[in-house]
Amino acid sequence: MKILIAYSSKTKNTKKVALELFEEIKDLTTVDIIDIKKTKKQLPNYDLYILGCWVDKATANKNMQRFVENHQITNKNVALFMTCGVPDTHYHAIDSINNFKNLMIKLNNNVIDTFICQGKIDPKILIVFKFLTWRDPNFIHKIDQTMLEWVESSKTHPNAEDFKNIRNWGKKVLTDFSNNN
C-alpha cells in the first residue's frame, strides 16, 4: 500500500499534526509526506491520499482546493484532516470538516474518515475580524468575550492530546482502508 500525506499549513498547526501522523504510520506502510506549497511536480498514483489543511471560510483553504484540482484527486481513496481555531466540538469545526468531506465526495472520492482538531488562531485574523466588525456591526465573527476565550485556549493547540488523537486516527484509517480493499 502506497500512501501520500499532503498538507497545507499557514501557522504550522497543520504541519505539526501531519508530522505526528507521518511518524505514526511511516513504519507500517510506504508513505510520502509533502507540503503542498513546496510541491510543483506531478505526483505518482497512490492507493490512499491523506489530505490535511487549515480551515478557511468553513472549508479547505484555497491552496488545498487548488492542489486537489491540479493533481486531479478524483475517484481516489482519501482521508481528511484539518486544524481549526475553535474546539473540535464547535459547530464551525464540524461544518468545516463536513464541507471538506462534501467537496471530496463531489469529486467522486471515497472518503475513508475525517479528523479535526484545534490549532492556534493566527493573530492576524483578529485584526481582520476587528476591521470587518467596524465596517459591518452585524459581522458574524465579532470580537466578544467568547472569541477572546477561544483565542486564549487555542494558544495551547495542537497539544499532546491532539497528537495522540491524530496518531490513533492514522492507525484507524490504515486499518479501515486495509479491511475494505
* DSSP string computed for 46-65: -SEEEEEEEEETTEE-HHHH
Model pLDDT, residue 142: 67
For the segment 104-108, the average pLDDT, to the nearest whole number, is 98
State how far Cα 82 lies from the chain centre: 2
On whether the pTM is more than 0.75, the answer is yes
Model pLDDT, residue 110: 97
Residue 133 — pLDDT band, cuts 50, 70, 90? confident
pLDDT digits (tens, 9 = 90+) for 56-85: 989 999 999 999 999 999 999 999 999 998
Q: Does 20 have pLDDT greater than 70?
A: yes
Q: Enumerate the H helices of 48-159 as residue ranges.
A: 62-70, 91-106, 123-135, 145-154
Cell of 108: 467522486
Cell of 69: 484540482
Model pLDDT, residue 39: 83
The residue among 162 and 179 whose pLDDT is bigger is 162
Q: Does 124 have pLDDT greater than 90?
A: no
Q: Does 179 have pLDDT greater than 70?
A: yes
Which domains, and CATH codes, for the chain? 2-120+158-180 (3.40.50.360), 121-154 (no CATH)
